[in-house]
Amino acid sequence: MQKKIQAAPTIVYPESDGEPMAETDAHRDLMTDSIETLKHHYRNENDVYVSGNLFMYYVEGDPRKCVSPDVFVVFGVEKKRRRTYLTWEEGRTPDFVLEVASPKTFSNDMKEKKELYASVLAVQEYYIYDPLGQIVPSFIGFRLIDGVYQEIDFVHNRLPSAVLGLELGERDGDLRLYDPDTSQWLQTPSERAEDAEARVENVEVELAKALAEIERLRTEKNA
């Protein structure tokens, strides 16, 4: 009797574990603002992928080998939407990772994740920040040198990122991104929206003035 050939079981790489994305409003806002700010900064570069809170699988065939960085940037991969990030398909691991920490997550961020990012994923720069200031240190960064993380020194109260060409620092109590080339802080989504609204209002004011002037001239001509 001929044996039936059975197909190999399909390996599923889940997109969610059912856990909440962030512990507090401050954690969630920092994650989303950082992701959207970096997306906007690299909006014209097609080979820079910015994401966060996305399952990243790093061992093919083993769905247990997974991590979900809060914010990460990968250079040299296509900019597109992904359901999960499979490192063996992409051929690249993150160059930059930011974890938004809390007393509950800090130990894992400083130990297990730090070891994983250094020895397995070779993340070039790794930053940990606590938006509520409940842990010490509340802000720290590491750069991978010869396979080992070395702590990054603060310069002008900011941590310089060689990978991004930007600096991370606090502004009005929030973690922000600073561009040393322009000597300006990158705008958050809400700041960009406010600026756009202000520009629209200015255009409307100038248009109203122009229409009023046209009407005045028309009135003078017909007088």
Encode the chain (223 residues) as per-residue pLDDT tens digits. Answer: 555 555 556 788 878 765 656 679 999 999 999 999 999 999 999 999 999 999 999 999 999 999 999 999 999 999 999 999 999 999 999 999 999 999 999 999 999 999 999 999 999 999 999 999 999 999 999 999 999 999 999 999 999 999 999 999 999 999 999 999 999 999 999 888 776 565 655 656 666 666 676 766 677 777 6
Q: What is 25-180's CATH number?
A: 3.90.1570.10
Q: How many other CB atoms sit within 10 Å of the CB of residue 115?
A: 11
Residue 104's pLDDT is 93
Element (H, E) at 208: helix 189-222
Task: With CA atoms as reference, report the closest residue to 146 among 165, 122, 127.
Answer: 122
169 and 159 Cβ atoms separated by less than 8 Å? yes
Task: With CA atoms as reference, report the closest residue to 101 among 6, 25, 22.
Answer: 22
Every domain of the chain and the residues it spans: 25-180, 187-223
Element (H, E) at 28: helix 25-41
Residue 200's pLDDT is 59
Residue 23's pLDDT is 78
Tokens of 101: 């920490």
Taking the whole predicted model, whether its pTM rises above 0.85 is answered as no
Residue 63's pLDDT is 94
